[in-house]
Amino acid sequence: KMTVKAVKMPCTTPNVYTKVPDGGWGWTIAFAFFFVEALTYGIIKSFGVFFNDLMESFDETNSRISWIISICVFVQTFTAPLSTVLSNRFGHRFVVMAGGVLISTGMVTASFARTVVDMYVTIGVISGLGYCLSFLPTVTILSQYFDKRRSLVTAVASTGECFAVFSFAPAITALKEQIGWRYSLLSVGVLQLSIVICGSLLRPIIIKEQEEVKAQPPEEPTETKYMLENEQTRTSIESIDSGVEITTSPSNVPGNTKAEPKSEEPKEHVQILVENNSTPPEPKTKLLDFSVMRDYSFICYAFFGLFATLGFFAPSLYIIPLSLSLGIGKDHSAYILSAMAIAEVFGRISAGWVLNKKPIRKIYIELICVVLLSVALFAFPFASEFWGLMTCSIFFGFMLGTVAGTHIPLLAEDDVVGIAKMSSAAGVYVFIQSLAGLAGPPLAGVLVDTTQNYSSAFYSCAAGMVLGAVFLSLVRPCKAGLCHRQQQCAEESTAEVVPDLPDDFIEMDIGKAENSGKGSDGV
């Protein structure tokens, strides 16, 4: 009898399903991801409320203070492969909980910082590493719990950062007026410790198909054991001396051959062989599978993420300076940024709803959204008054939501790498994004300083988004071409193997026996 030993992981209780549940405990994971998104990217986007206070306290320029978030985003994306390795080794739950501790530690320590360099280390490095360990494993395990509803659920859950921008920015501003920026930052760090609670809800999932049912033979035996006896030598092929046992199907034996029903012992032996073949030993899990780098479709998708990231962060940083340079007041400039965040919520939900429809090629929908996002970026420099910027901001926010909420979960689609390699692909993908995340805002700043015009920042973002659209358009053709080549190789290898197969020796012996019988008749 074959026994299957359940693998028990410390401090975890895996959910075992026969197929992707598309719900179940996945709804709890989506709830946790909503708050993880709010306490990671929501805080990053709301950190601008501390900029003036930090410049006054440390007597530093805006550019040096902005490096705090640039370093944080870079560390967050650059250490994505480390997050993948740790998740595969210790599980998603432990990694996210550890990330929550790091985030809180960095923020709390930053409230006691005396120089901007201390901020680089505490928020930039420590909290940045925590953001990576918290966000990426959560979105990865959420994708494993859903299949048909994956796009919609991920998009809706990712709106946590948008709601956080609404709530945290005014709340932190009001809190600063009461207790100062240091204690406000300390309060934010304590609040982010709740990521540990969210991480504790991430129960691992195991998809275990019932293969043993397929391996069961029918009740009535379909195979019969035959003993062929040579007429001249009267020697049985199945003899105790030879130790040879022949098992074949009735179709391979002439009708005049004597047949005996198959015994129970060989039947059990055949059943065990089938079960062994249907459930091969599990290979050792790779901590980080770099084989995705040999997939041309993933390479194109990674370049899409690299160039598209140039347009993700810079517009949010430069929309207010652009509006102020056009003579728009500070209050109205804040309304523009709020409208962008509201539109992003609707964009994320709309994209998830559309991508949840079937049949639909999701990669093409993503491409349309990226092209429209490029148009929105090109439109900003042509706006010259409040309502023009408001219109551009709403359009940009909506299209940004359609792309930002779906570009990572889209890795799980078969057009890119598939759900099996989602974990490793996400780590490598976000790692490649880190280069653009670090260079994007400073590059836009250099162009602004050179041209003395904030519109140039949006041109650089639009150029990067256009390049991203070009590489995104190549993902599906590369995948289709690769699959076609693999199919051709499989057919060629099959054609080479089949002619080399030896003929069944039973049929050879039967043929020899018939020839021998004809020869004796002729004599």
3-state helix, strand, coil in the chain (%, to 5): 70, 5, 25
The mean per-residue pLDDT over the stretch 26-45 comes to: 89
Do you know the residue count of the chain? 523
Q: How far apart are the first and last CA of the chain?
A: 56
Classify burial at 79, counting beta carbons within 10 Å of its beta carbon; exposed 0-12, middle 13-18, buried 19 or more.
buried
* Residue (of 443, 464, 465) closest to 399 by Cα position: 465
Q: Tell me the CATH number of domain 288-495, given options 3.30.420.300, 1.20.1250.20, 3.20.10.10, 3.40.50.300.
A: 1.20.1250.20
Tens digit of pLDDT for each residue in 468-489? 999 989 888 887 776 555 556 5
**Angstrom distance (rounded) from CA 277 to CA 279:** 6
Contact 215, 271 (CB under 8 A): yes
Top-ranked range on mean pLDDT: pick from 20-34, 117-131, 346-360: 117-131
Per-residue pLDDT tens digits for 212-244:
444 455 554 444 444 444 444 444 444 444 444
242 vs 505: CA distance, rounded Å: 16
pTM, rounded to two decimals: 0.62
- Report whether the peptide linkage leading into residue 21 is cis, meaning its omega lies within 30 degrees of zero: no
| The residue type at 12 | T
| CATH of 14-208 given 3.30.2270.10, 3.10.20.30, 1.20.1250.20, 3.50.50.60 | 1.20.1250.20
Residue 167 has what pLDDT? 79
Pairwise pLDDT comparison (401 vs 258), residue with the higher score? 401
Tokens of 458: 């949006």
Identify which of 308, 404, 408 has the alpha carbon closest to the alpha carbon of residue 84. Answer: 408
CATH code 1.20.1250.20 region(s) in the chain: 14-208, 288-495
Q: Is 393 left (phi over 0), alpha (psi -120 to 50) or beta?
A: alpha
pLDDT over 60 (residue 117): yes
pLDDT at residue 520 is higher than 80: no
More confident call, 498 vs 168? 168
Instruction: Give, to the nearest 10 degrees, the angle between helix 314-325 and helix 330-355.
Output: 150
- What pLDDT is recorded for position 25? 84
Round to whole Å and give the CA distance between 400 and 312: 7
Each residue of 129-142: pLDDT tens digit? 999 899 888 888 88
Instruction: State residue 79's pLDDT score.
Output: 84
